[in-house]
Structure 1
């Protein structure tokens, strides 16, 4: 896990098979403070999973073209060993349950930001290229990307299958949480007040990252990384779940700011399939 003093990334590979099995048995699991998403209401939602007989949830992601999934670089890192992706990695789309239903696709290759830094948690962005085209249906649709510089007080939402508490089970159903973006200065103050060692590693950078918050007791947690932060008014993606302070402890969560990576994303999408 990306555990560094009091900060840890809010979605990493879960620790053992038992926790995954337990998460599938509890129908009441929730993203911290979230609610069950209506079937088909988030058609861009992706579950990154691995495993053969027992499936493991890695992270979330978003469909941005019929061959490309946008996610966090640290999610890709977790299934990348000795110069290649795990052969068991799959992209699941078109379902509100990460472990069943929908369509599953293999991954041909990854495009991870060349300046991704796992220690400072900066440039935490990557793209997975599927082996086959993902056919578009009413349950599978790309999300539109918004490259505007996002300020505070923008009503937004995030969805995922992440843990309901630190070390707790995952959700077997897709959960959605409505949040509001937080001004850069306000977020910096909140993070630095609660995380005295922030200056040593994952210091919040308002040019590369944006913050969002709901209320204490609500927020993203392990399993939600890579998922899309979208504007509520137009359903356009503005961020990617990256890191935070514990889970729902009354501190804003930190997202990759898409506006900072407009050129990188466009260049990645224009490359070979």
Structure 2
């Protein structure tokens, strides 16, 4: 379940996708993720089973946000999490995809209070964004951003802010991640919110496994994993995040606290770890940005 940046993209592919971006944002799509969500290392090389692969239908996730765009019909863009009554935490590359002419596109909305991305819940517009000033697209580093809602998010039993955990998280910690994404590469996305459990793995192991699997899977231009900035999780082959999941929250499941943001990875659920922005690495920036 990813939404945007999970894998490296050839320049020709980027040019082609950029050409369709305006039309996609204008008319949207009922059953397919928005084109911009595929502009990511995480999702560009999806296989036929691309999705939050191996997950289950999620229960109540009150902090979950659907980011969508489109004037005539909504298109899924990314996930995110409510962290205050005016702030949604997501990936910087998700914001980049809907930032044009110095501002966010007018059709961008965040929906809360629903497990179905295009049904129910409450939609909020955004006044502005605060993307990390040192976000680097080419290496997908500092891939974190905040969207500021135009009005206060109304909290209820169905809508509550995620509790952020600013502690450094090491190997062995149980996690859960939720999101919407393609159920088949190039096909329809999941209408229902899916959830996957995994465990944090050692940073050095993650570095070597990503490097080795990139060679085996013939995926080029893969960024270097930086454990001080990124959390890596792994379940088993056949389980993992994918298209439409970018920006979604990674939770420490034993404490129900957010520790990461879906950022990038190798082809979906083929034996590689998934990479998340490490919230503890950006504690000062987050706290300053939501004041």
TM-score scaled by length of structure 1: 0.88
Please list the CA deviations of residues 137-158 of structure 1 after superposition, one character each: whole Å capped at 9, or x if unmatched: 0010000000111111111000
Instruction: Give 3-state SS (helix, strand or coil) of 1:266's partner.
Output: helix
Instruction: Give 3-state SS (helix, strand or coil) of 1:134's partner.
Output: coil
Q: What is the aligned partner in structure 1 of residue 78 from structure 2?
A: 59
Q: What is the aligned partner in structure 2 of residue 186 from structure 1?
A: 205
Indicate yes or no: 2:132 matched with 1:113.
Answer: yes
Give the conservation status (yes or no) of the 8 Å contact 2:229–2:277: yes
Q: What is the aligned partner in structure 1 of residue 53 from structure 2?
A: 32
Please list the CA deviations of residues 3-37 of structure 1 after superposition, one character each: whole Å capped at 9, or x if unmatched: 5269xxxxx9998699943459xxxx963111111
- Flag structure 1 segments of 5+ consecutive residues without an equivalent: 7-11
Please list the CA deviations of residues 201-254 of structure 1 after superposition, one character each: whole Å capped at 9, or x if unmatched: 511000100101111111110100000000111110000000000111110000
Cα offset, 1:100, TM superposition:
1.2
Give the aligned CA root-mean-square deviation in angstroms: 2.7
CA distance in 1, matches of 2:221, 2:192: 37
**Aligned residue runs from structure 1 range 252-267, under 5 A:** 252-267=273-288
Instruction: Give 3-state SS (helix, strand or coil) of 1:75's partner.
Output: helix
Q: What is the aligned partner in structure 2 of residue 229 from structure 1?
A: 250
Structure 1 residues 56 and 168 mapped into 2: Cα distance closer, same or farther (>3 Å)?
Answer: same
Give the conservation status (yes or no) of the 8 Å contact 2:175–2:252: yes
CA distance in 1, matches of 2:72, 2:112: 19
Please list the CA deviations of residues 151-208 of structure 1 after superposition, one character each: whole Å capped at 9, or x if unmatched: 1111100000012343332100101111111110111111010124889551100010
| Equivalent of residue 91 in structure 1, options 92, 107, 110 | 110
Instruction: Give 3-state SS (helix, strand or coil) of 1:127's partner.
Output: strand
Instruction: Give 3-state SS (helix, strand or coil) of 1:141's partner.
Output: coil
| Equivalent of residue 239 in structure 2, options 173, 198, 218 | 218
CA distance in 2, matches of 1:147, 1:20: 37
Q: What is the aligned partner in structure 1 of residue 225 from structure 2?
A: 204
Give the conservation status (yes or no) of the 8 Å contact 1:124–1:256: yes
Structure 1 residues 172 and 205 mapped into 2: Cα distance closer, same or farther (>3 Å)?
Answer: same
Aligned residues, how many? 260
CA distance in 1, matches of 2:77, 2:220: 28
Cα offset, 1:51, TM superposition:
1.2
Please state which structure has a larger fraction of its residues in strand.
1
Q: What is the aligned partner in structure 2 of residue 247 from structure 1?
A: 268
